[in-house]
């Protein structure tokens, strides 16, 4: 017991050296989400959906692009460059399996993603809109009050109930 008290100043000194994480939320996290729309080559649109995650702190963007007409799925990784408090640009490289399938260069702002989808042969005009968040099937939606720098006061939280099996006696 006597030795434990002698270690207390050492433990307090070491705890001061541990870096703390910032409590400020990423203001660009609101740009992350599901975007739906089309990529057009002239008058011929093709439906697409992009699940996008952006980080203003790290400058990274990633996600999954799905062409809805044939269910082709592409992995997207690249950069995010903010240009004001509510928007920025993304440059993504699309891969399918081990091969590069194309690129996306677009501007994100106001719930829209406008830019270009370039494949190996063609250049498409990409126009996507952010879908409203919806709860997964069977989930209960609760709202947890929070305060962010942008003045938002609540964040939806999805709770998916999981069945619990009691242990056998």
Is residue 14 situated within a structural domain?
Answer: no
Total domains in the chain come to 1
Structural domain range at position 46: 29-92+107-130
Cβ atoms of 61 and 92 within 8 Å: the answer is: yes
Is residue 34 situated within a structural domain?
Answer: yes
Q: Residue 119's pLDDT is what?
A: 92
Q: Residue 165's pLDDT is what?
A: 64
Q: Residue 68's pLDDT is what?
A: 93
User: Measured between alpha carbons, how far is 91 from 54 in angstroms, rounded to an integer?
Assistant: 11
Mean pLDDT by 10 residues, the chain (169 residues): 52 49 71 93 92 91 94 94 88 94 94 94 94 62 54 52 63
**pTM to 2 decimals?**
0.65
Is residue 83 situated within a structural domain?
Answer: yes
Is residue 20 situated within a structural domain?
Answer: no
Q: Residue 86's pLDDT is what?
A: 82
Q: Residue 2's pLDDT is what?
A: 54
User: Measured between alpha carbons, how far is 46 from 124 in angstroms, rounded to an integer?
Assistant: 10
């Amino acid at each position: 017991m006597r030795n434990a008290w002698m270690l207390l100043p050492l433990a307090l000194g070491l705890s001061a050296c541990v870096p703390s994480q910032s409590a400020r939320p990423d203001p660009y996290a609101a740009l992350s989400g599901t975007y739906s729309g089309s990529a057009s080559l002239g008058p011929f649109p093709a439906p697409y959906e992009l699940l996008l995650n952006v980080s203003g702190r790290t400058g990274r963007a990633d996600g999954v692009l799905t062409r809805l007409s044939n269910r082709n799925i592409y992995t997207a990784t690249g950069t995010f460059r903010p240009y004001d408090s509510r928007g920025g640009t993304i440059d993504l490289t699309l891969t399918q399996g081990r091969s590069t399938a194309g690129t996306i260069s677009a501007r994100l702002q106001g719930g829209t993603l406008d830019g270009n989808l370039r494949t190996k042969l063609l250049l498409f005009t990409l126009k996507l809109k952010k879908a409203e968040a919806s709860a997964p099937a069977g989930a209960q939606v609760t709202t947890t009050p929070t305060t962010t720098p942008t003045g938002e006061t609540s964040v939806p939280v999805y709770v998916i109930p999981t069945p619990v099996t009691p242990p056998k006696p």
